[in-house]
Amino acid sequence: MLRPAEITLPESALRVGVVDRTQLAWAAPISVFENGTKTARFRDIKSIGPKKTIEGFIVELSGFKRFVTVPVSTPEKVDSLATQVPKASQEVLDGLEVDSSLDILVSLEGYRAEISTDGNIYTSVYYDGFGNPFTVPSFQNRRTIKIVAFWRIYDLKKNTVQEERNVETELTFSSNGYNPDESYRNLPEQIGSVENTSQVAGIDYAKKFVPFWGNTERMIYLGQSNAWLDAADSAEVGNWASAAEQWTVLSKKTALPVIQRQAVFNLFTAYEVLGNFDEAEYWAKQGQKKYKNRDFDAAIIFLDKRRIENEQLDRQLRE
């Protein structure tokens, strides 16, 4: 089932600018740790990491054809030792000096990389030609990289901050060797691992703007007769319209209230899947009124949620 994106931009927003402000206005120096110790070997991360995060965001969002994604450079000058990113939206917007044709500006305003390593020793048992066992140690090293990216969305038409949030992305890289040094040397190159994780961090945030396909479980009653099994087979292969026709016949054909109730519930499910919410509501309310069953109470609540999500999807997908 297609689900709405977590972040909904205004319907009028078609041109989205993307800017890296981490070098201009940032809360604190970059924090990079390896084995608990800050190291100068990662001094380039402050420029490379945010750049890769922006790249990942733009590539992922550009695949959603509703928006035109525009990289933005800004001459804004802010004290690099500032204790916090400026919060006054008008003050920030006045300094951005972006293309007036843009509707939305997505800004990466903070970036932090945390790097740690740990390892384990494993033993494997082998046997020689005489059947005598012997053990060989194996060493594994892991490097975990966590990127914390602080994003802000500016509505350039209203001069307001629409949203701000931290997004955390963590990847683990591992390697093996016959001694600790070999295992450590076999780890992927460190800066490259940070770059990869930073790109994924940008992709993770971009996904929050894009509707996605998600699995949704639905319950139907199967029954025992051939007619019930045929209807269930139709539903299983995605022919819900045919299944609905068969369940309509079954709801009228049987005299047993419990079987009628099951057929009515299945009809609700079929029409909800087909996107015919009015018909689904009709059958849910029929079942609620006639059978006083909790399944129908839950069905109406679920249908209300589906309608809200459908409205969100309409706004997000509207060209």
Q: Tell whether 187 and 270 lie within a shared domain.
A: no
pTM, entire model: 0.69
Q: Tell whether 49 and 175 lie within a shared domain.
A: yes
Q: Tell whether 21 and 160 lie within a shared domain.
A: yes
Percent of the chain having pLDDT more than 70? 81
Q: Tell whether 278 and 196 lie within a shared domain.
A: no
Last residue of a domain, one of 212, 237, 271: 212
Residue 108 falls inside a structural domain: yes
Looking at residue 80, its pLDDT comes to: 37
Q: Which of 91-100, 159-168, 182-191, 260-269 has the lowest mean pLDDT?
A: 91-100
Residue 218 falls inside a structural domain: no
Q: How confident is the model at residue 313 (pLDDT cuts 50, 70, 90)?
A: confident
Residue 221 falls inside a structural domain: no
Looking at residue 257, its pLDDT comes to: 83
Last residue of a domain, one of 212, 238, 253: 212
Residue-number span of the structural domain to which 312 is assigned = 226-317
Q: Is the pLDDT of residue 126 over 90?
A: no
Q: Tell whether 76 and 190 lie within a shared domain.
A: yes
How far is Cα 113 from Cα 48, in angstroms, rounded to an integer? 11
Q: Tell whether 251 and 195 lie within a shared domain.
A: no
Residue 138 falls inside a structural domain: yes
Q: Tell whether 134 and 236 lie within a shared domain.
A: no
Q: Tell whether 167 and 192 lie within a shared domain.
A: yes
Looking at residue 25, its pLDDT comes to: 40
> Which segments of the chain are extended strands (E)?
2-3, 15-20, 33-34, 37-38, 68-72, 104-127, 133-155, 160-177, 212-213
Q: Tell whether 207 and 230 lie within a shared domain.
A: no
Q: Tell whether 54 and 192 lie within a shared domain.
A: yes
Tell me what the mean pLDDT of segment 113-130 comes to.
81
Q: Is the pLDDT of residue 81 over 70?
A: no
Q: Tell whether 29 and 114 lie within a shared domain.
A: yes
Residue 220 falls inside a structural domain: no
236-295 pLDDT, tens digit per residue, is: 888 999 999 999 988 887 667 888 899 999 999 999 999 899 999 999 998 988 888 888
Token code pair at residue 302: 């679920």
Q: How confident is the model at residue 26 (pLDDT cuts 50, 70, 90)?
A: very low
Please calculate the CA angle 211-163-199 and round it to the nearest 5 degrees: 60
Residue 217 falls inside a structural domain: no
204-238 pLDDT, tens digit per residue, is: 999 999 886 767 788 888 877 888 889 989 998 88
Structural domains of the chain, count: 2
Q: How confident is the model at residue 57 (pLDDT cuts 50, 70, 90)?
A: very high
How far is Cα 232 from Cα 243, in angstroms, rounded to an integer? 7
Residue 219 falls inside a structural domain: no
Residue 166 falls inside a structural domain: yes
Task: Give the residue among 241, 119, 92, 236 at the shortest CA–CA distance from 183.
Answer: 119
- Hunting for tokens 């066992």 — which residue is that? 133
Q: Tell whether 175 and 132 lie within a shared domain.
A: yes
- For residue 269, the domain's CATH number is 1.25.40
Q: How confident is the model at residue 43 (pLDDT cuts 50, 70, 90)?
A: low
